[in-house]
Chain A
């Protein structure tokens, strides 16, 4: 019961934050809306006893990524009257198609009673809750165990991917096309 009440409140926070992020005129308020969403999700993770995931969510997204966003917004200084024209003409229809497809797929699964497609095997086809294993004291051990043993290769591959991405970002940022004359280069 407590879980349900918390879930309703947090869902309101998450959805409200997401909406204010999309609809907000002021980029700083949009960033704050996204922060509310991330925070609400973190608390939902705590309710699911995934403490480690919740804390990582706060450290990585709320702590680092959003701080950088704000930094950029503040540094570059955003004009409130930003151009709202869209560069990609096909974007809106494409989004509508994708949303319709997702709604149809989820709705079809729900109507046909195949809950396990949505929630995993925790809930059986009859909508009954399966026996949830006793929550271990601490999720760090479990996550560390499976990360280093079972999923080591994907883990390392992700790390390599991130390194490649950041190196690529630096290369892109510092890449300059060849100058016409060496004089301009000196004047820089």
Chain B
């Protein structure tokens, strides 16, 4: 650990921070544009080409707006809640690899540079722990606002988060069992080979967990949508019932932080789904055919391309599905997703044991 290593860590963190901010700006615009297309509207069109700078303008507006603090708030927690929402959102992405590691000679010796905040050997568990922290922001915001609608939103958020966290955790276990690692870089590495099915190697098809663990992917994605409080699971901030839910009493920059956290979470959840099920940054790079720089950047391009596909599904869901009723939400979580995830876990366990130990009757 010398000065260069330290500098590289700082650069990585700053790069990820900036990347997430820019992604959020584009994501909000992307969502508004796609929803507008689906609803036969035009959407943002004034600020910049195709209205792409609209989010920036909105952000500036929120930044300069007055921050109103209602009289009955619990001030300490009221201020802490937006910060608590944003910090885990940024931290989760630190564990996700978004490009192929490359070597660079710095300070006289070659160093491997990871395109990843930190290659934790407990990466997946770190992600789960951080996403379980994220719920505090919503709960505390709802409680500390000292008003009825936010409190209802906060209570709903807790119940929803507890219910769907279980499904999220259970859906990830088959991936860990199948790939044999919780380190995200190893999970990506595992998926780079060709698909193996019933002992045959199938050419041209990558070994994505999506193919063999499809039920896990479906459960994971549904639970991820619920964890990020997105439609059709956005009961936490249901406009028609709760005004704005937990962030009713927030304005200006404090509201902007919640908004930022929601979109970052949406992006990170898609990124995690890509890493676990769709091969992460793996993809054809044509090393040797293309210039080294191009084939070095291509993995990052594949990663973002896959993430955009999932983000489109997120937006698509929002534009298509009506919100669930509260009892439907709970029933779906506890009576469908969690038993389904458990059954699938059992099946995977049996299959893997069969593979390793042979027929049980022979």
Query: Which A residues lie at the B interface, using CB under 8 A?
Result: 26, 28-29, 32, 35, 51-52, 55-56, 58-59, 62-64, 67-68, 70-71, 74-75, 137-138, 140
Minimal beta-carbon separation of B340 from chain A (angstroms):
21
C-alpha gap A137/B143 in the complex (Å) = 42
Query: How far is it, in angstroms, between the C-alpha of A55 and the C-alpha of B121 when the chains are bound?
Result: 11
Q: What number of residue pairs across chains A and B have CB atoms under 8 A from each other?
A: 74
- Is the CB–CB distance between A140 and B121 below 8 Å? yes
**B135→A67 contact, CB < 8 A:** yes
Give chain B residues whose Cβ lies under 8 Å from the Cβ of A67.
132, 135-136, 139, 158, 161-162
In whole angstroms, how far apart are the Cα atoms of A175 and B74 in the complex? 39
CB-based contact B139/A70 at 8 Å: yes
B77 close to A (CB within 8 Å): yes
Is the pair A51, B132 in contact by a Cβ cutoff of 8 Å?
no
6 contacts between A and B (CB under 8 A): A29-B76, A55-B122, A63-B133, A67-B161, A68-B162, A140-B122
CA distance A35 to B120 in the complex (A): 23
- The answer to whether B143 touches A28, judged by C-beta atoms less than 8 angstroms apart, is yes
Distance (whole angstroms) from the CB of A51 to the closest CB of chain B: 5
Q: Which secondary structure characterizes the binding site on chain A? A: helix
How many interface residues does B have (CB within 8 Å)?
Answer: 30
Inter-chain contact B126/A55, CB cutoff 8 Å? yes
Q: Which residues of A contact B158 (CB under 8 A)?
A: 67, 70-71, 74
- A136 CB, min distance to chain B CBs, angstroms: 10
Task: Tell me, rounded to whole Å, the shortest Cβ–Cβ distance linking B224 to chain A.
Answer: 16
List of A residues within 8 angstroms of B115 by Cβ: none
B218 within 8 A of A: no
Shortest distance between the CB of A76 and any CB in chain B (Å):
11
Is B104 on the interface with A (CB-CB < 8 A)?
no
Closest approach, in angstroms, between the C-beta of B47 and any C-beta of chain A? 40
Q: Does B298 contact A (CB under 8 A)?
A: no
Once bound together, how far apart are the Cα atoms of A68 and B158, in whole Å?
8
Kindly report which residue of chain A lies nearest to residue B124, judged by CB atoms: A55
On chain B, the residues within 8 Å of A63 by CB distance are 128-129, 132-133, 135, 165
Q: Does B57 contact A (CB under 8 A)?
A: no
In the complex formed, the residue of B with least CB distance to A75 is B155
Interface set, chain B 115-147, CB cutoff 8 A to A: 120-122, 125-126, 128-130, 132-133, 135-136, 139-140, 142-144
Q: Does B154 contact A (CB under 8 A)?
A: yes
Contacts of A71 in B (CB 8 A): 139, 155, 158-159, 162
Find the B residue at minimum CB distance from A73: B143
Contacts of A26 in B (CB 8 A): 74
Q: How far is the CB of B148 from chain A (nearest CB, A)?
A: 12
Residues of A within 8 A of B140 (CB): 28, 32
Q: Do residues A52 and B122 form an inter-chain contact, with CB atoms below 8 A? A: yes
